[in-house]
Amino acid sequence: MDVLARNNVQISGNPSGTPMIFAHGFGCDQNMWRFVAPAFEEDHRVVLFDHVGYGSSDLASHSAERHSTLDGYARDLLEICRELGLERAVFVGHSVAAMIGVLAEIEEPERFERLVLVGPSPCYIDDGDYVGGFSRQDIDELLESLDSNYLGWSGAMAPVIMGNPDRPELGEELTNSFCRTDPAIARQFARATFLSDNRADLPRVRARTLVLQCSEDVIAPPQVGEYVHRMIPGSELVLMKATGHCPNLSAPEETVAAIRSFLRG
């Protein structure tokens, strides 16, 4: 299948501008960027896409083997870049997509000049002095709950992930997004996400990198953002006032301002 159709690639903005690619996190689709991406269309060729299995991507293109690890999603991203002839692009990845972008940049560094990592986590499980935010038992129980009752898990977890309990409509949107996903695909992507460990990859990043860390985040706590910042050479860290794991929805103005400041720097 055509790569652009497979990932429901949508292009807007300035055709002669620097390419800017937005990648969504687990359980979501490109609609999560609707309050952020348009702010960059005047100066950038904006590229949005859905990971295979999400949004309006081609579900039949999902491969149990290829998409069992984040490397498979990084290959998808690079195929989009090759198809569009993208080089020296700005990549903006939310949550697990941040590490997908890291893997893609290491594989083909000429494709990416800058990385913006929004709520990144290279490893979700605590390990010695490393604080990932979860014990192995926590992750095993999370995956077991997801396996046994995906819709129930989505309804319980999405509002927690979103945070901002004073704005329940945000949690409801994330819940609905989770529930639209095929449970079998979601289960596999969850395992690829929560059992991943990309800590050793961080020092290999060569692109200029911005780490956007929310002040309260149950999925990627501040210690994780600080770790990513320390491990990626020359990276910048911005601790946002925003809370929750999805500032692209809960605090789009602050998200846009931080990215703009980084691009001007």
Catalytic residues: 95, 217, 245
Q: How far apart are CA 42 and CA 51, in angstroms?
A: 25
Tokens of 151: 């819709």
Outline where the chain has alpha helix (H): 3-6, 70-84, 96-107, 136-148, 150-162, 168-179, 183-194, 222-231, 247-250, 252-264
- How far is the CA of 60 from the CAs of 11, 52, 79, 215, in angstroms? 23, 9, 17, 39
Token pair 């319980």: residue: 156
**Alpha-carbon torsion (53, 56, 60, 65), positive or negative:** negative
Q: Specify whether the CB–CB gap between 27 and 2 falls below 8 A.
A: no
- Strand 44-48 to strand 10-13: parallel, antiparallel, or no bridges (unpaired)? antiparallel
Distance CA 51, CA 38 (A): 20
| Look-up of token digits 């893997």 | 103
From edge to edge, which strands make up the β-sheet containing 112-118?
Answer: 10-13, 44-48, 18-23, 89-94, 112-118, 208-216, 236-243
Q: Which SS3 state, helix, strand or coil, does residue 166 take? A: coil
